[in-house]
């Protein structure tokens, strides 16, 4: 993973605003929009090399465990927690793995849109994050909005085209939250606000 | 390594070095007179100048190939910044890869010193290829705007800037001491001096805005002061770096001062249209790479062709 950093910097190039708002240590949840396979690589490259072992993400098991190379890369190199599609975070086993990762002081990246959707469009959030925060209350949730990776490597494309990626980091929601749907609404609003701050060029 | 180290290079580089030392000293001294934010930005800006000076000098005195590689990287970063800030169509993704690929190709012609190909590759070959690519993309929505935007981006970030590369490999003319490295230092240094001088004259004496619709910060005092400073310094350093006499050095200084101003404003106009302050944040205290090379996109090709004509006439 250490090699990823310079590659991300030269091939893509990152423009990060409010980098200092990132969590210095776990447990924390990072909630990001999902446009591309590059999303996780870029989010991980934001953290210092020594912290990388403590950054986890969840991955769609149907896709990532379908091929042994991909499975090795996802679980060994990225440190992804596989989740069966359809079971969502609501399913007992999947939730357990994520809860354990958080209890072990990890930072967990989640994509509440559920899947990489249409490039550069924000889809409605699924409720997994809310379920998670009610199970372990008090874990801060950091909204992060990324722009550009859906252009560089959108769903269904094989060729990577260099584009600069903008990363906007929002304020964490860290109070104990018992109302799941309220939390999701706040997250979605914060995300839309971050997106509108960016003044991003048209992509059609 | 170069077989020779041009004799004029050392005093000019030493002069540039001393200016940076003095600038660093002045900013340290001004610490208590500036707001915290203003101070941080100035410190960042001068630190970036040190880094630019270091990388550029190293590449120029080491080897021509290293300089061409550096220019390839600069063109790549500039083009990437450009396509990331303008509207782009999804249908043009593959075409963009072709455009990226043409950057090392353009610098390869320069490396071979294939002058004709260097001149026609982007304005003719790529201009037509771009249209073929767009036709094969089968998307007519936004066709003209997309094509014009991409062509424009290639012209400023690759074609214009690649003239610095060709200047570097120009064969030395008999009887003159026009070493490529000296000419590159001459044009880059004067263009950057012009930017800084325009900024300093504008900050200290400027009040009448020259063209507020494009850039609210440009003043008549900055414009005229910049041209004056650039021409004066051109006359001082040209004996060390160029074959020019005093009058030619003055004309070259005027040319750099005036055209550099328009290069700067050309990028400003785009930023205005797109409602952005900087083209990026690659160079702390300066903004993006296009913010830094904006004037060079005008001065480099113009100086190159004027110089070519000059050696042809005098030669």
- On the question of pLDDT at B176 being above 60, the answer is no
Tell how strand A55-60 and strand A141-147 pair up. unpaired
- C-alpha angle B246-B252-B253 in degrees, rounded to nearest 5: 90
Tell me the nearest-neighbour CA distance from B72 into chain A, angstroms.
Answer: 13
Residue A152 lies in a domain: yes
Inter-chain contact B83–A163, Cβ cutoff 8 Å?
yes
Residue A203 lies in a domain: no
Instruction: Name every chain B residue with its beta carbon within 8 A of the beta carbon of A154.
Output: 90
- On the question of pLDDT at B103 being above 50, the answer is yes
**Closest residue in B to A147 (Cα–Cα):** B84
Map out the domains of chain B as residue ranges.
Answer: 68-169
A7 close contact with B: CB closer than 8 A? no
pLDDT for position B1: 42
Residue A204 lies in a domain: no
Cβ atoms A125, A188 nearer than 8 A: yes
Burial of A130 (0-12, 13-18, 19+ CB in 10 A): buried
Cβ atoms B299, B187 nearer than 8 A: yes
A14, β-bridge pairs: A165
- On the question of pLDDT at B177 being above 60, the answer is no
Indicate the SS3 state at residue A56.
Answer: strand
Tell me the nearest-neighbour CA distance from B170 into chain A, angstroms.
Answer: 30
A136 vs A139: CA distance, rounded Å: 7
A74 vs B4: CA distance, rounded Å: 53
A167, β-bridge pairs: A16, A146
Inter-chain contact A204–B90, Cβ cutoff 8 Å?
yes
Residue A93 lies in a domain: yes
Burial of A52 (0-12, 13-18, 19+ CB in 10 A): middle
Tell me the nearest-neighbour CA distance from A104 into chain B, angstroms.
Answer: 36
Cβ atoms B169, B110 nearer than 8 A: yes
Residue A202 lies in a domain: no
Q: How many CA atoms lie within 13 A of B173 on its CB side?
A: 17
Indicate the SS3 state at residue A183.
Answer: helix
Residue B187's nearest CA partner among B285, B281, B295 is B295
Inter-chain contact B87–A151, Cβ cutoff 8 Å?
no
Instruction: Provide the token pair at A47.
Output: 């953290």
Torsion sign across C-alpha atoms B297, A10, A119, A106: negative
pLDDT for position A92: 59
Residue A188 lies in a domain: yes
pTM value is: 0.92
Looking at residue A138, which CATH number applies to its domain? 3.40.1130.10
Inter-chain contact B84–A159, Cβ cutoff 8 Å?
no
Indicate the SS3 state at residue A165.
Answer: strand
- C-alpha angle B154-A164-A195 in degrees, rounded to nearest 5: 125
Domain that holds residue A32: 4-197
pLDDT for position B3: 46
pLDDT for position B4: 55
Mean pLDDT taken over chain B: 91
Torsion sign across C-alpha atoms A118, A120, A126, A131: positive
User: How many A×B Cβ pairs under 8 Å?
Assistant: 54
B183 vs B205: CA distance, rounded Å: 32
Cβ atoms A173, A140 nearer than 8 A: yes
A80 vs B164: CA distance, rounded Å: 47
Instruction: Provide the token pair at A108.
Output: 């967990």
A56-60, B152-156, B222-226: least confident range: A56-60
Inter-chain contact B80–A159, Cβ cutoff 8 Å?
no
Cβ atoms A114, A126 nearer than 8 A: yes
Cβ atoms A49, A9 nearer than 8 A: no
Instruction: Name every chain A residue with its beta carbon within 8 A of the beta carbon of B280.
Output: 13, 15, 164
B147 vs B163: CA distance, rounded Å: 23
Task: For B191-212, write each residue's pLDDT tens digit.
Answer: 999 999 999 999 999 889 999 9
- On the question of pLDDT at A174 being above 80, the answer is no
Cβ atoms A87, A94 nearer than 8 A: yes
Instruction: Name every chain B residue with its beta carbon within 8 A of the beta carbon of A201.
Output: 84-88, 274
Task: Compute how many other C-beta atoms are within 10 angstroms of the C-beta atom of residue B48.
Answer: 17
Number of structural domains, chain A?
1
DSSP B82-105: HHHHS-B-GGGHHHHHHHHHHHHH
B46, β-bridge pairs: none
B155 vs B286: CA distance, rounded Å: 22
Of B87, B100, B276, the CB nearest to A162: B100
Mutation for testing the A interface, residue in B75, B85, B93, B103 having most A CBs under 10 Å: B93
**Closest residue in B to A10 (Cα–Cα):** B77
C-alpha distances in Å from residue B304, one per residue of A138, A163, B165, B192? 64, 31, 10, 16
Q: Which of A111-125, B2-16, B198-212 has the highest mean pLDDT?
A: B198-212
Tell me the nearest-neighbour CA distance from A6 into chain B, angstroms.
Answer: 14
Sheet holding A107-110: strands in order across?
A: A14-17, A165-169, A141-147, A28-32, A107-110, A55-60, A80-83
* Residue keyed to tokens 């903008």: A166
Q: Which residues of A, range 145-184, sit inside 8 Å of B by Cβ?
A: 148, 151, 154, 157, 159, 161-164
Tell me the nearest-neighbour CA distance from B76 into chain A, angstroms.
Answer: 10
Of B85, B97, B280, the CB nearest to A161: B97
pLDDT for position A132: 74
Percent of chain B with pLDDT over 70: 96
> What's the residue count for chain B?
315
In B102-224, DSSP assigns E strands to: none
3-state helix, strand, coil in chain A (%, to 5): 40, 20, 40
pLDDT band for position B215 (cuts 50, 70, 90): very high
Of A15, A201, A202, the CB nearest to B281: A15
* Residue keyed to tokens 């570097």: B168
In chain B, what is the straight-line distance between the N-terminal and C-terminal CA atoms, in Å? 29
Higher model confidence: residue B258 or residue A49? Answer: B258
Task: For A50-103, write each residue's pLDDT tens digit.
Answer: 888 888 888 877 777 778 888 888 877 787 887 776 655 555 566 788 888 888
């Amino acid at each position: 993973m250490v090699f990823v950093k310079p590659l991300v910097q030269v091939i893509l190039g990152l423009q990060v605003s409010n980098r200092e708002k990132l969590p210095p240590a776990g447990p924390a949840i990072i909630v990001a929009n999902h446009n591309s396979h590059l999303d996780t690589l870029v989010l991980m490259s934001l953290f210092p090399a020594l912290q990388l072992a403590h950054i986890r993400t969840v991955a769609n098991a149907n896709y990532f465990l379908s091929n042994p190379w991909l499975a090795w890369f996802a679980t060994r190199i990225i440190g992804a927690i596989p989740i069966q599609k359809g079971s969502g975070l609501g399913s007992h086993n999947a939730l357990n793995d994520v809860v354990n990762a958080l209890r072990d002081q990890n930072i967990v990246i989640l994509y509440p849109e559920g899947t990489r959707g249409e490039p550069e469009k924000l889809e409605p959030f699924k409720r997994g994050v809310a379920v998670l925060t009610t199970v372990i209350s008090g874990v801060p949730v950091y909204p992060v909005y990324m722009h550009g990776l859906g252009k560089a490597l959108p769903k269904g494309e094989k060729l990577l085209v260099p584009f600069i990626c903008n990363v906007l980091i929002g304020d964490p929601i860290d109070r104990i939250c018992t109302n799941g749907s309220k939390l999701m609404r706040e997250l979605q609003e914060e995300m839309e606000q971050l997106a509108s701050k960016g003044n991003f060029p048209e992509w059609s | 390594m170069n077989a020779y180290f041009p004799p004029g290079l050392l005093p000019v580089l030493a002069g540039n070095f001393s200016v940076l030392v003095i600038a660093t000293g002045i900013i340290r001294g001004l610490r208590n007179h500036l707001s915290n934010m203003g101070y941080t930005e100035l410190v960042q800006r001068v630190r970036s100048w040190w880094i630019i000076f270091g990388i550029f000098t190293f590449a120029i005195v080491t080897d021509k190939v290293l300089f061409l590689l550096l220019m390839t990287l600069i063109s790549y970063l500039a083009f990437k910044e450009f396509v990331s800030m303008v509207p782009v169509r999804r249908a043009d993704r593959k075409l963009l890869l072709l455009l990226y690929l043409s950057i090392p190709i353009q610098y390869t012609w320069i490396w071979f010193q294939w002058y004709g190909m260097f001149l026609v590759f982007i304005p003719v070959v790529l201009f037509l290829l771009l249209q073929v690519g767009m036709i094969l993309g089968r998307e007519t929505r936004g066709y003209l705007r997309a094509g014009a935007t991409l062509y424009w981006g290639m012209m400023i970030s690759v074609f214009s800037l690649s003239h610095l590369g060709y200047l570097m490999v120009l064969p030395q003319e008999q009887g003159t001491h026009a070493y490529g490295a000296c000419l590159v230092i001459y044009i880059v240094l004067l263009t950057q001096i012009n930017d800084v001088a325009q900024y300093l004259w504008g900050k200290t004496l400027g009040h009448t805005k020259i063209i507020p619709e494009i850039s609210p910060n440009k003043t008549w005092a900055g414009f005229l002061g910049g041209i004056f400073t650039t021409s004066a310094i051109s006359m001082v350093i040209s004996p060390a770096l160029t074959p020019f006499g005093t009058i030619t050095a003055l004309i070259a200084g005027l040319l750099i001062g005036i055209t550099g101003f328009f290069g700067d404003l050309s990028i400003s106009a785009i930023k205005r249209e797109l409602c952005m302050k900087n083209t990026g944040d690659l160079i702390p205290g300066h903004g993006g790479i296009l913010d830094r090379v904006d004037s060079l996109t005008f001065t480099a090709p113009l100086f190159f062709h004027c110089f070519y004509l000059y050696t042809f006439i005098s030669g």
